[in-house]
Structure 1
Amino acid sequence: MLSRLGYSGAMGVRSFAKDVRFGVEARSLLLQGVNVLANAVATTLGPKGRNVLIEQLLISPRITKDGITVANNVQLKDRRLDMGAQLLRQATNNTNNKVGDGTTTATILARGMACQGMHFLRQEKVNVQLLREGILEGSRAVGKALGEMSQSVDTIGQVEAVARIALNGDERLAELIGDAILELGENGVILLKESHGPNDTVKIQEGVTLPSGYCSPFFATKVDANTMELGNCLLLLTLAKIDQVEDILPALELARLKEQPLLIIASDFSSDLLKILVLNHLQGRVQVCAVKAPNFGEEQRHEMQDLALAMGAHLLEETSWLADLSEKDLGEVETAVVDANETHLLKPIKVSEDQMQCRIQHIRELIDEAITDEELCRLNTRLGRLQGHLATIYVGGSSDLEVSERKDRLNDALHAVRVAISDGIVPGGGTAYLRCIPALDMLPPAKVMEHQVGREIVKDALRLPCYTIARNAGVNPDEVLRRVLAGSGNYGFDAVTGEFGNLVDRGVVDPTSVMQTAMTDAAGIASLLATTEVLITKQPIKPKIPNNQVTRDLAKLVGM
């Protein structure tokens, strides 16, 4: 080990600052880390996969069956082993970012191919780049074969089948997804929120709903319901803070002349102005209501721009713009319902469809580039508002742990359903991969030995998802593999019932894109792992902890 080598001289002993490992030893250390992460993630695969309990600092533990969540929480103390886990985690993250599901499958495939590749490299005179090319060539053949066997999703029953597999057999949540997509269509926006009770519910919202209510309860006309309903309502949108009634006199006068109610959504209102508006409303001069714009800063600007397009209004950004207001600056809706917490705008009357579609396409592009879950949620909310309808699934449970675990699975299921609708489905349970083995056998003869070995590595890995699902289900995985390989087409193993049959008819299916992406990402990472020759890591440095009781207790709390 180079880190322990050095030389003695007049100046003392000098050693390397980093740990450097070569060849078989380097790959063996990487493989140990790969195995730890893959073993943790593989336990969640299939309808009878197990839960993983994850410690969280200063808060209660998290329980989950979501592969990407498990992978992202595996950190190893030994830096050399952790590098292997990090590389494998990259495959799961790539798959999750592209299609939102299939991370566990990608992990299992990558581990299988990496192990086989490292074993082969123990032989001498092997061209590692040709081996990598062979693995990638095999993965491309598998992706093409999956595309050829793909079947389109034509019914809500098939949608629910895809969701049920991603949800590990949860019928209730799968039905909620099916109901939402049946109501909204395949491009509808579905949001996830925590329920205040133990039950799961879905709420379909038509029109545009803002998470802001009236600024004063005196605006409410229905005392019992604490709501205000405005029919054939004019809409004024501004980013300015309105301090004086003179700022909005043109809008009030226009509403009085047209004998229509006026809803004002602004960044803020002064207390004096609100008193005048309430008094004006109660005296019946102009039916008016004031609502604060949701959010703040740049996010508020984006949401108000969306709202202006959806309502056919112009967004007036400064107070000076209000003085020159004309009728074309105001939006108009058939009905506006305002309560203390929300504002519902239904059936806008004048909307530019071309501008709306351009804005919708722009937000969809931002969604594709989104990195964090919070950013993705905000963009999906904006998209739903522009489209005029969205669904919210409220996830219930007996504890915060259960709700969190079910939300993880539901999020995966929504992504799986999206890609299944767009790209089709294949038989699940790992059967689709087994049906790709003949495609590898039918490839033209390899010109070099390494290419053929790469294909064989991919072929062996294709057996692993089915094997792992059967093992997690508590049955003999070798027997399951034998029987599925002896069959053809959609014939496979249903781990829920423990029976064999036509998996598509039984609703055991996987999205084609998820399976293709998992194979592609796994092959890329596995070929890099297998062809690694040198491993360089920093030497571990023990942190110096001040010698007092408080600091020692804090250090113990964070694991130092």
Structure 2
Amino acid sequence: MLKNITTTRWISVRHYAKDVRFGMEARSLLLRGVNIMANAVATTLGPRGRNVLIEQLLISPRITKDGATVANNVQLKDRRWNLGAQMLRQATNNTNNDVGDGTTTATILARGMACQGIQATRAGQVNVQLLREGILEGSQVVCETLSEMSESVETIGQVEAVAKVALNGNERQAELIGDTFLELGEGGAILLKESHSTKDEVKIQEGVSLPSGYCSPIFAMAADGDTLELGNCLLLLTLAKVDQISQILPALEMAKNRQQPLLIIAPHFASDVLKALVLNLLQGRVQVCAVKAPGFGDEQRDQMRDLAVAMGASLLEDASWLAKVTDEDLGEVVSVIVDAKNTHILKPINANEEEVENRIGHIRELIDEARTDQEVNQLQKRLGRMQGHLATIYVGGSSELEVTERKDRFKDALRAVRVAISDGVVPGGGCAYLRCIPALENLPEAQVPEHQMGREIVRDALRLPAYTIALNAGADPDEVVRTVLAESGNFGFDAATGEFCDLVARGIVDPTNVLRAAVSVAAGIASLLATTEVLITQQPVEAKIPKNQVTRDLAKLIGM
């Protein structure tokens, strides 16, 4: 008798601890996040750009037109979409870190290149690495063309023109920045603070600026931000490496006895020393901050001697001098302002004016004897530091929201002006990018099809800034782009008035380095998005809402 035989079939099922997506599906999910991010940021571009209102937990909302601020506040619930948004955020942050402006432009360009790059991969038979090379090659051609187009900034009127664009056409604020740079020169230090009135004003203070900030961000924790202010401060200047806390204990004791904050400037601080200083600060014993001395070698010694003379302090050459420090060795100033990158020392109390003038005269003699441009530039920086000033722009407004939004615009304008002074300007309003299109079209046909495809992706993306500016201004963007492309030179669209004109003559310009950085960063991020093949994210986890009514209400408040 035959028995029924049951055949068991084993089906292989792949289970992942994380969510894993491949190929076109992965790129499409990333693109969803890219589009959401770019749409949010693009609304702020141009003089007719719109505001973005951002919720802030437990405090007042923030309103802004700053692209980097908007990008940093976009968080998407879907992890896969959010990864695309995060990659695009890198474009804004990298551009902001490099040149301090152009974040919105970089986002728009990156989205345009990424969309076309991903679309090209849909057709198949495309070598994505060669496509990436083509995109990067095209962006390099654009950067070179922008450099050839650039004009130097030589007048305060040009400075005000750059500032006016960043300030969305506000002439009064642009004139304020122009007057400040006229007073300080391009190397002057400028701070932004909130005003107690509705008007903007600037105050100039004498002082010395150093291109180095605090050694640890914890020193600024008590300042409720990223800037530390020390009033009636003592200065300890040394060329010795501070490897042990015992080396600076005498100075700390003096500061404690005199109940004054202490700024220590030295070439090096050991990690244990910084930990001890931070612990000392947090425990409220002495308000102290450590700053690394600027420069290296002989240059550092010269700069520290300049600082000692300017501040009426003694420069302690080695550790043995530190052990014998006296009250007379410490400098004393009215105020010290320290952030992550700079230190501003204001109004020395005990400086010897005759010694300061002699030091300035000595530096001028060295300038006359210098043989290379590098030597002259370095000596000019030292001279400017000895004669330095600090400007504080007090930003006014009728409400906290307005003041915050205006401060964001002032920050962008100051960064744009500094970049423009160093690298020159090109026509604004997206016109400069449109003038780069013929440079790409006139290149010899690429031997590799993917390289040619990459160039065309960059070429098409160059239309987007001008298109977006016109769209935000309520004009027909297609007609604007066609009209500008049909002309040449500085002819472009003034979105503030809705007129076509000579943009440079009207003062509508962009810093050259800002546009170069924007297209370079955008090409890098977009090519990475287009060549992504696998997307790995955490599996979504449902938040467990507690049963207690109080904790339930708190969870609801934070969006759980």
TM-score normalized by structure 2?
0.75
Give 1:105 shift: 0.2
Question: Conserved in 2, the CA contact under 8 Å of 1:310 and 1:356?
Answer: no
For 1:350, what is the secondary structure of its paired residue? helix
Q: Give runs of aligned pairs for residues 63-78 of structure 1, distance below 5 A.
A: 63-78=63-78
Residue 534 of structure 1 aligns to which amino acid in structure 2? V
Query: Which segment drifts farther, 15-24 or 509-518?
Result: 15-24
Query: Which segment drifts farther, 206-215 or 140-149?
Result: 206-215
Aligned with residue 212 of structure 1, among 231, 245, 254: 231
Give 1:391 shift: 0.6
For 2:450, what is the secondary structure of its paired residue? helix
Question: Conserved in 2, the CA contact under 8 Å of 1:32 and 1:84?
Answer: yes
Q: Give runs of aligned pairs for residues 318-467 of structure 1, distance below 5 A.
A: 320-322=324-326, 345=349, 348-351=353-356, 388-467=388-467
Question: Conserved in 1, the CA contact under 8 Å of 2:232 and 2:334?
Answer: no
CA distance in structure 1 between the partners assigned to 2:27 and 2:51 by the alignment: 30
Identity %, equivalent residues: 68
Corresponding position of 1:267: 255
Residue 98 of structure 1 aligns to which amino acid in structure 2? D
Residue 326 of structure 2 aligns to which amino acid in structure 1? L
Give 1:205 shift: 1.2
Indicate how the Cα distance of structure 1 residues 82 and 356 shifts in structure 2: closer, same or farther if over 3 A, else same.
farther
CA distance in structure 1 between the partners assigned to 2:447 and 2:307 by the alignment: 61
Give 1:302 shift: 6.8
Question: Conserved in 1, the CA contact under 8 Å of 2:251 and 2:325?
Answer: no
Query: Which segment drifts farther, 395-404 or 15-24?
Result: 15-24
- The CA deviation string for residues 272-293 of structure 1, in whole angstroms up to 9 with x for no partner, is xxxxxxxxxxxxxxxxxxx654
CA distance in structure 2 between the partners assigned to 1:120 and 1:26 by the alignment: 15
Question: Conserved in 2, the CA contact under 8 Å of 1:95 and 1:106?
Answer: yes
Give 1:541 shift: 0.9
- The CA deviation string for residues 110-133 of structure 1, in whole angstroms up to 9 with x for no partner, is 000111111111112111111111
Question: Number of paired residues?
Answer: 459
For 1:37, what is the secondary structure of its paired residue? helix
For 1:497, what is the secondary structure of its paired residue? coil
CA distance in structure 2 between the partners assigned to 1:554 and 1:384 by the alignment: 54
Corresponding position of 1:552: 552
Corresponding position of 2:288: 297
Corresponding position of 2:375: none
CA distance in structure 2 between the partners assigned to 1:24 and 1:420 by the alignment: 41
Question: Conserved in 1, the CA contact under 8 Å of 2:230 and 2:261?
Answer: no
Corresponding position of 1:103: 103
CA distance in structure 1 between the partners assigned to 2:143 and 2:14 by the alignment: 52
Give 1:546 shift: 2.8
Residue 128 of structure 2 aligns to which amino acid in structure 1? V
Corresponding position of 2:5: none
CA distance in structure 1 between the partners assigned to 2:74 and 2:383 by the alignment: 34
Pick the structure with greater CA Rg: 1
Corresponding position of 2:213: none
For 1:59, what is the secondary structure of its paired residue? coil
- The CA deviation string for residues 195-241 of structure 1, in whole angstroms up to 9 with x for no partner, is 111110001112469952499xxxxxxxxxxxxxxxxxxx9999777
Residue 296 of structure 1 aligns to which amino acid in structure 2? Q
Give 1:534 shift: 1.6
- For structure 2, the residue ranges without an aligned partner over 5 or more in a row are 1-7, 210-228, 239-247, 264-285, 295-303, 336-345, 365-381
Give 1:175 shift: 1.2
Question: Conserved in 1, the CA contact under 8 Å of 2:200 and 2:394?
Answer: yes
Give 1:502 shift: 0.7
- The CA deviation string for residues 526-556 of structure 1, in whole angstroms up to 9 with x for no partner, is 0111111221111101132332112211211
Corresponding position of 1:476: 476
Give 1:269 shift: 3.4
Residue 212 of structure 1 aligns to which amino acid in structure 2? G
Indicate how the Cα distance of structure 1 residues 104 and 242 shifts in structure 2: closer, same or farther if over 3 A, else same.
closer
CA distance in structure 2 between the partners assigned to 1:301 and 1:27 by the alignment: 45
Q: CA RMSD in A?
A: 3.5
Indicate how the Cα distance of structure 1 residues 13 and 519 shifts in structure 2: closer, same or farther if over 3 A, else same.
closer
Query: Which segment drifts farther, 171-180 or 43-52?
Result: 171-180
Question: Conserved in 1, the CA contact under 8 Å of 2:138 and 2:458?
Answer: yes
